[in-house]
Amino acid sequence: MRVLGIESSCDDTAAAVVEDGRRILASRVLSSARLQQQYGGVVPEVAAREHVMAIVPAVQETLRAAAMSVSAVDAVAVTRGPGLSGALLVGVTFAKALAAALKKPLIGVNHLEAHLYANALVEPVELPALALLVSGGHTSLFWWQDHGHLTLLGETRDDAAGEAFDKGARVLGLGYPGGPEIERLAAAGIDTGHRLPVARLGADSLDFSFSGVKTAVQDLARRYPDDRAGIAAALQEAVVKALVLGVDRAWRRVSVKHVYLAGGVTANSHLRAEFVKWGGDRQATVHIPPREYCTDNAAMVAALGYWRLKQGERMAMDAGPQALFPLGSG
């Protein structure tokens, strides 16, 4: 079963062909991130315009790399939400037209759930498990019971982890996106003794909070304007520590064998190292996708689409994108 995946939820236009939910035949990502850098963030209208220009080339390049014609596609999977309304509309409209022309099934998937399926591109997912989704817009912890069954255990009450990196980067005068810039600067620094707060929201809570660390970064930057690397290292340490502690609290309750990480922030080297260390201490297997599949891509969309197709799901041709698309209702 060869599924063509299409992703256009934010500033990346992506296409991929994945066979049987596991084997990537080809994957392409055309990003407008450099264009967005001049604005210091993603401008929705600019993103939508770039998707319109990039979506056909992305699909054509993917099919060429997979050495297959579009007629050989068995199904089309597309990110239906959450994301930017205009950006999603481009991908959904294209996917609907293509599926109708090919007379092939159309599957609309949740972008956040798709991130978890980036792990399926490496090895079969073993469930039940804990799952941590951590990105620029979301920080959520799930009990992943089975395919299609996720229960939300905790989430951020304010800023997402990636948002904390982005805001910290702006305070430090770094570029966009902030996560890679914080990691780069932190690696160049030395431990200058800065410590930033890690929020605890009560003994029974599995929620996260990163607004306090953002404020603390602003204070450190005023007091130590010449130690940007030390502040970046402290910010990275505080965010990663909060995530590890949150997963550890959840693991103590359910004590599963497998923990899956997903989302753009999981490309961070310090985060990856700390979670691997945590897994060794707890005798739990921590699964993290390869870096190229941590950020937005269409292979994860195709992988989830395969499972949704197996469960008999289809997206109606009169259905549209969902900018708000909650995940984790069970």
What are the structural domain ranges in the chain?
2-117+293-310, 126-288
Whole-number pLDDT of residue 330: 36
| CATH level 3 topology of 126-288 | Nucleotidyltransferase; domain 5 (3.30.420)
Whole-number pLDDT of residue 36: 59
List, for the chain, all residue ranges whose pLDDT scores fall below the cut of 50. Answer: 329-330
Whole-number pLDDT of residue 201: 84
| CATH level 3 topology of 2-117+293-310 | Nucleotidyltransferase; domain 5 (3.30.420)
Prediction pTM value:
0.92
Whole-number pLDDT of residue 326: 83
Whole-number pLDDT of residue 37: 65
Whole-number pLDDT of residue 3: 98
Whole-number pLDDT of residue 39: 62
Is there a common fold for 2-117+293-310 and 126-288? yes
Closest CA to 172 of 194, 157, 155, 156: 194
